[in-house]
């Protein structure tokens, strides 16, 4: 009696490697990954919601306040004397920029605080695509949300201020440019927030630098000699950004195009600093 042993096939390591589906890091996959990570955070929904509320609510409050001053016959505030529908609808920009900038810092620095950045860089060893993807994804989201918010605020304010000296419509010169400029400014603020978070790798540090750059330093320039202020103030990030969306310009402000170029320069500088640190230091 003879027995025949069943034949056994052994797989070599090479065969196993070829059978396993190949994984390739591509720009589209990195973008999808950053998109998924961003929307998985509860803070994203909350902060973006707050930014939209700031844009619309404060724009409405400013318009109602202006209209009440006119109807009551009371003295007009100095800040509102030359107001227009555009400037009143963009009253919430200063508050929205903080929300969008802070969320940008969290998008980048939050991964360092949790240690998740190590897994991210292990999956994308070249590193820089991670930074570009974070900036692109969040910058686009901030741009779209801010643009929608300012157009909604302007549409509502147009109805409130119709028939007053501040009345403007979308067909008036400079209005659409101002609204698009405000949306672009807030989108770039979000990108700067991402860059600061990646550069400093600290949520607290990134927020501190962001607030100082956009709000504190412009106020401190009033302590400088008058001859210096005219050469420095227009080129600060907040003033250059404001030149992108204000309706009227004078000798103390940059033109919309110059303001855009200067603010883009600040954005590129922040991203360049973040890229250099990402390449030269460990996570």
pLDDT number for residue 191: 97
Taking the chain, what is the end-to-end CA distance rounded to the nearest angstrom? 68
pLDDT tens per residue, range 199-241: 999 999 999 999 999 999 888 887 888 878 888 899 999 999 9
Contacts within 8 Å (CB) and 24+ apart, 148-152: 148/52, 148/183, 149/51, 149/52, 149/55, 149/56, 149/92, 149/96, 149/183, 150/55, 150/59, 150/89, 150/90, 150/93, 150/179, 150/182, 150/183, 151/179, 152/55, 152/56
| Mean predicted confidence (pLDDT) in 177-197 | 97
| Residue corresponding to tokens 């927020």 | 207
What is the C-alpha separation between 141 and 159, in angstroms, rounded? Answer: 28
pTM: 0.88
Q: Is residue 118 part of a domain?
A: yes
Q: Is the dihedral of CA 211, 212, 214, 216 positive or negative?
A: positive
Count CB atoms within 10 A of the CB of residue 71.
9
Burial class (CB in 10 A: 0-12, 13-18, 19+), 202: middle
197 occurs within a structural domain = yes
Alpha-carbon span 283 to 139, nearest angstrom:
23
> Domain total for the chain?
1
Within-domain flag for 158: no
Give a yes or no: residue 216 inside a domain.
Answer: yes
Range of the domain at 101: 34-42+93-149+169-280
Residue 243 in any domain: the answer is yes
- Output the six-digit token pair for 160: 């409130």
Establish if 25 belongs to a structural domain.
Answer: no
Asked if residues 96 and 149 have their Cβ atoms less than 8 Å apart, the reply is yes
236 inside domain: yes
* Within-domain flag for 98: yes
DSSP letter for each residue of 181-249? HHHHHHHHHHHHHHHHHHHH--HHHHHHHHHIIIIIHHHHGGGS-HHHHHHHGGGSHHHHHHTTT-S--
Tens-digit pLDDT profile for residues 116-153: 888 888 888 888 999 999 999 999 999 999 999 999 99
The pLDDT, as a whole number, for residue 16 is 45
Model confidence band, residue 264 (pLDDT cutoffs 50, 70, 90): very high
Positive or negative torsion for Cα 226, 231, 139, 124: negative
């Amino acid at each position: 009696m003879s027995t025949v042993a069943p034949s056994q096939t052994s797989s070599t390591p090479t065969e196993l490697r070829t059978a396993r589906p190949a994984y390739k890091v591509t720009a589209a996959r990195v973008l999808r990954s950053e998109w998924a990570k961003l929307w998985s955070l509860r803070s994203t929904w909350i902060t973006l919601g707050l930014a939209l509320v700031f844009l619309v609510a404060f724009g409405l409050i400013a318009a109602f306040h202006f209209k009440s001053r006119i109807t009551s016959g009371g003295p007009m505030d100095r800040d509102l004397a030359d107001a227009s529908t555009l400037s009143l609808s963009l009253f919430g920009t200063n508050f929205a920029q903080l929300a969008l900038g802070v969320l940008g810092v969290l998008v980048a620095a939050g991964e360092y605080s949790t240690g998740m950045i190590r897994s991210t860089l292990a999956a994308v060893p070249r590193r820089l695509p991670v930074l570009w993807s974070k900036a692109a994804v969040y910058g686009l989201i901030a741009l779209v949300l801010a643009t929608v918010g300012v157009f909604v605020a302007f549409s509502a304010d147009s109805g409130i201020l119709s028939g007053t000296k501040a009345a403007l419509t979308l067909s008036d010169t400079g209005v659409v440019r101002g609204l698009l400029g405000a949306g672009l400014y807030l989108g770039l603020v979000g990108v700067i927030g991402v860059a600061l978070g990646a550069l400093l790798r600290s949520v607290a540090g990134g927020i501190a630098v962001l607030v100082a750059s956009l709000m504190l330093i412009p106020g401190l320039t009033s302590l400088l000699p008058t001859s210096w202020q005219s050469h420095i103030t227009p080129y600060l990030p907040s003033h250059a950004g404001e030149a992108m969306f204000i309706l009227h310009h004078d000798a103390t402000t940059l033109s919309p195009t110059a303001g855009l170029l200067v603010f883009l320069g600040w954005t590129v500088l922040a991203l360049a600093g973040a890229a250099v640190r990402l390449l030269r230091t460990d996570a």
